[in-house]
């Protein structure tokens, strides 16, 4: 883990303002797209997607094609749609998990290009672990605050954003969320905050419970669930 506390990620307030570049669920519907591909790291996105699905969002998987993919954990996943049918106008968010393939060749470059299209359309993108390497190669981190597993992971890409690297568990800047491989819960918190899924007090309680096993947070979550 990094030196500073996990419960203080670097978040840029402007990213939560109601500007033209922001995309709220009301504008795009309540559909989130999760990229799936061979060697995908199973554990990195479940905290986010399970909470989204439990709060009325439809989570659709997007594969390189229509064929099943095999995750790092050996699960076979049949994508809901192929990448060439993905349209930012139909989405509230694109999530890019890590995968060994991000570090080996450019087979996942089309997903990084899709991320560029999402950001250009004002739809946020969330990338964790190796997927941050894809964003760096695509130039999306050259002028944004960001993080990853380590600064060295991104330096070898030759990107121009080294000065904007932050030693943080998760970072949000102008529609792009990044996180390292050991931080699925901070990653989820940034996603849930970006889409206004939970009230701030409930979001913080959820983080305390799942990231730190803080039992005192449970009554807050239970009360919020009973009130739904």
What are the catalytic residues? 129
Residue with tokens 């999402």: 118
The CA-to-CA distance between both ends of the chain, in Å, stands at: 35
For 31, counting Cβ atoms within 10 Å of its Cβ (0-12 exposed, 13-18 middle, 19+ buried), the class is: middle
Residue with tokens 């890590």: 98
For 18, counting Cβ atoms within 10 Å of its Cβ (0-12 exposed, 13-18 middle, 19+ buried), the class is: exposed
**What are 67's two structure tokens?**
């064929």
């Amino acid at each position: 883990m990094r030196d500073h506390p996990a419960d203080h990620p670097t978040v840029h307030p402007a990213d939560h303002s109601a500007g033209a570049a922001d995309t709220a669920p009301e504008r795009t519907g309540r559909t989130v797209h999760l990229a799936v591909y061979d060697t995908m790291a199973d554990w990195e996105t479940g905290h986010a997607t399970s909470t989204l699905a439990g709060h009325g969002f439809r989570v659709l998987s997007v594969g390189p094609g229509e064929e099943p993919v095999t995750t790092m954990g050996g699960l076979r996943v049949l994508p809901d749609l192929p990448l060439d049918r993905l349209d930012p106008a139909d989405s509230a968010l694109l999530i890019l998990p890590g995968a060994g393939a991000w570090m080996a060749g450019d087979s996942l470059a089309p997903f990084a290009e899709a991320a560029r299209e999402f950001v250009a359309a004002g739809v946020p993108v969330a990338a964790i672990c190796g997927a941050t390497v894809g964003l760096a190669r695509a130039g999306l981190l050259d002028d944004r605050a960001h993080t990853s597993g380590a600064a060295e992971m991104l330096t070898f890409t030759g990107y121009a954003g080294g000065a904007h690297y932050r030693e943080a568990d998760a970072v949000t800047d102008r529609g792009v969320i990044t996180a390292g491989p050991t931080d699925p819960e901070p990653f989820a918190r940034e996603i849930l905050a970006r889409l206004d899924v939970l009230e701030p007090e409930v979001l913080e309680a959820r983080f305390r419970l799942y990231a730190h096993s803080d039992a005192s947070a449970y009554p807050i979550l239970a009360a919020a669930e009973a009130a739904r």
